[in-house]
Structure 1
């Protein structure tokens, strides 16, 4: 018989008992001692916007840095990482069983005047549809939909053609948005996810909810940008501060409108999704919804099972209910990844 896990599973709040069967959970019990006996169980935390493998924009991909970043995620109980936009030049790098499960997009797709100079895959607007289909070979692609406040966003017709082409090929599209025009074009074009969403017009929220476009507000990184904005020009400071202040009502309004809001950090150190969950709570999301945004809701959106018979043997245990006491997220009692006891 295999090793046993027992406890109260979230979000169902039901007592469960599983036997580890390789990297899968099997409902049942065993005469052997339980590796987890009691406590509150999550199927691991999820960071849906992280860029492991680089320290700052412009860095080339470094696999040693990637491993360090992913181990930082794992130590925090983050067992799934989505990387929307990657400097990794290998589109289908073999998965490392010691590291969290990785869902990566291809390289950032940047048209002229948008994104950090010389970074990402530089293409023209005419080349965007075909390039997006190529980069989405692993399932996702990431488009830089806009950039600075005074520069126009990718035109609606170009973005619509691109997203339609990726969807026809079976892929999904994440769009970087931080201007009103960029957000508008991404939503109207049918993007699968809005990354950042600063300056998002709330009138777009019903359409986002209806078509399943999720919002990843990355409040963690914007909190740091706003805190350091004094180093920039006055117009930049005003723009960033207004955008940061506006994220709070945007997150609350999006949740209330039925838009799926997910937790992503876009920031170092890796493993900081717990901070992002706390920002979502401060913005007005109920604690359980914010926790789901960084756990079971995010997993479901990525097509991953939770703590169910036959699901992945990815489990993080806590001594108290993290919905009632989110501080326990900082101190996981036990971490199991792919059926292996990590801590």
Structure 2
């Protein structure tokens, strides 16, 4: 059986017909289609490359919960059912199992191995606890043992120093020399600055990021993953607290993060959608928050679809691409279409209709 798909493809907004040849997307009928039955599984509507969550932690839900493969499957299934067909896991309690990127019914996974935490900069015992001098070697080990990514905790408490710039530079340089990429957790001005100046591949959160660094980020290809959904919930709690220096500092960082989404996009920085929260499968809401923060609707959608896929090394809806796509009855960027992105009418993963 050959599957056929018709609809308006995004981001091009062109009427197109695709065929699925095994796990591959084709723009012309495969030769065997003429001799076999063809089934049209999508006929009209809007087509997107599978959604992407570039900052999610399936397999555990809090610092006290051990990593669990059954929970990992449930979390990845929730992503899939929402149309999220590719995820990046920037940090886990344990290394991902060997099956994680090849299960036919679960999203593709790009892992960054275990969180790398230098003294005083993470939940004790949750990540891989190392000394600052061990960071470059450990970063290469995690990158080569995963999907080519490693995750460094660049800072932690708001009033304590970040990983020193020279240490961060050495770690990023070592991983790049090994062909890997580096994600950095940063929630302070110093931590964000050091990650950018070190040439990190992505800033996770990026609170208190100096907007004067945005041009450098764009020039060197450092992406911003602001995880607005997770921080919005924290902002509500901070608003209810009694006034304090810490409260003012946190809320200033939150307001700056919102402003930086628009400024980063305008500067040419790749801004991407990551949830860093539970339940899994809510990246559509993160895309909407990016739009509310000032990104154009198409760019905010791309941050959770074609832009994120390209950034992670996978193409969109082109000939020869993996047959991972989602279909909708109406344009998910249209005015009044809030919530549409999280409710696809059809989900196709690895060439199979899974919903």
Fold shared by both chains (TM-score > 0.5): yes
The aligned length equals 343
CA RMSD of aligned residues (A): 1.5
CA distance in 2 between counterparts of 1:286 and 1:41 reads: 19
**Which of 51, 64, 67 does residue 73 from structure 2 map onto?**
67
Q: Deviations over 1:262-309 (max 9, x none)?
A: 000000010111111111011100000000001000000001011111
2:258 counterpart residue number = 248
Distance 1:146 1:91, change over 3 A: farther
| Superposition map of 1:1-343 within 5 A | 2-29=2-29, 32-90=38-96, 92-94=98-100, 95-137=102-144, 138=146, 139-229=148-238, 230=240, 234-324=244-334, 325-343=337-355
Q: Report deviation, 1:92.
A: 4.3
CA distance in 1 between counterparts of 2:153 and 2:198 reads: 14
Distance 1:173 1:292, change over 3 A: same
Q: Secondary structure at the match of 1:33?
A: strand
Are the equivalent residues in 2 in contact too, given 1:145–1:153 (CA < 8 A)? yes
Q: TM-score, normalised by structure 1?
A: 0.96
Distance 1:98 1:233, change over 3 A: farther
Q: Report deviation, 1:235.
A: 3.8
CA distance in 1 between counterparts of 2:338 and 2:299 reads: 12
Distance 1:26 1:172, change over 3 A: same
Q: Secondary structure at the match of 1:261?
A: coil
CA distance in 2 between counterparts of 1:275 and 1:123 reads: 35
Are the equivalent residues in 2 in contact too, given 1:155–1:185 (CA < 8 A)? yes
Q: Secondary structure at the match of 1:323?
A: coil
Q: Report deviation, 1:19.
A: 1.5
Q: Unaligned regions of 5+ residues in structure 2, if any?
A: none
Q: Deviations over 1:28-56 (max 9, x none)?
A: 24662301111100011100000000011
Distance 1:234 1:118, change over 3 A: farther
